[in-house]
Amino acid sequence: GARVHAPDDTTIHAQDIDPAIVRRLVLPEIAGAHGRVIVNLFTEHGWLIDRDAPHLLEFHQDSGFRYEVIDMLAHDGADIAKVLYIGEPADLAVVAEQMRVQFGDALYVTYSLPDCLEVMTANVSKGRALRAVLGRLGVDAGHCVAFGDNMNDIDLLETAGHAFMMNNANPDLIARLPHIPRIGNNFDAGVARHLRTLFALEDLAASRVPT
């Protein structure tokens, strides 16, 4: 939600975290002096990390997106769209509580996975980003389709007129939005399958088969 790009990669929506806050978010008093939590910073086009973590690259094999290991304490905090903490849920709960105490409502804090805690500036969310795009296109939210599977999708699903949740969504998301219809699993092309159903693409493809 902190960045939206047009098809030509032009930035049409951007919100960064205050640099002074970023500099505090990487300190041991937030991330934990024990060193178990991996700290990541995301810029417009880059991924910065506080240690080598090759297992994380498995999630970016198709895109080729790679990280750069840096000294977090030496970073000036500028141009950071998102801070991501990766660690055990118990450790992340402590991180989240530290941020609540020190920053209050100045930050938007959410889980993208049980072991991934995302932090952005307070007025950032997927729903806000969607509203920015819809306003640019002149499209009513009631005509928008959206899919979600985790806690960082709440605002997105509440914004779109036609919202759907994956069958394998985070149980906390299911409990939070019990009225949202559930579809297939994301590891079984659930979104693609549902789009084909919504837009009758199977029927369209069949009608174009030569006889």
Can you tell me the mean pLDDT for 15-29? 95
Domain parsing of the chain, residue ranges: 3-121, 126-207
Quickly list H helices, 7-125. Answer: 19-25, 28-31, 89-103
Which among 99, 2, 96 has a CA at the least distance from the CA of 43? 2
Question: Chain-wide mean pLDDT for the chain?
Answer: 88
Q: Is 112 helix (H, G, I), strand (E, B) or coil?
A: strand
pLDDT value at residue 113 = 87
pLDDT of 13 strictly over 90: no
pLDDT of 64 strictly over 80: no
Of the ranges 150-154, 176-180, 199-203, which one carries the lowest mean pLDDT score?
A: 199-203
Q: Report the distance separating Cα 13 and Cα 46, nearest Å.
A: 17
Q: Report the distance separating Cα 4 and Cα 24, nearest Å.
A: 26
pLDDT of 66 strictly over 80: yes
**CATH superfamily entry for domain 126-207:** HAD superfamily/HAD-like (3.40.50.1000)
Can you tell me the mean pLDDT for 138-166? 91
pLDDT value at residue 84 = 96
- For residue 78, what pLDDT band results from cuts at 50, 70 and 90? very high
pLDDT of 83 strictly over 70: yes
Q: Is 81 helix (H, G, I), strand (E, B) or coil?
A: coil
pLDDT of 61 strictly over 80: no
- For residue 32, what pLDDT band results from cuts at 50, 70 and 90? very high
- For residue 119, what pLDDT band results from cuts at 50, 70 and 90? very high
The CATH number of the structural domain formed by 3-121 is 3.30.1240.10
Against a cut of 0.75, is the pTM above it? no
Q: Comparing 22 with 133, which gets the higher pLDDT?
A: 22
Distances in whole angstroms, Cα of residue 138 to Cα of each of 58, 81, 93, 113: 38, 26, 40, 33
- For residue 208, what pLDDT band results from cuts at 50, 70 and 90? low
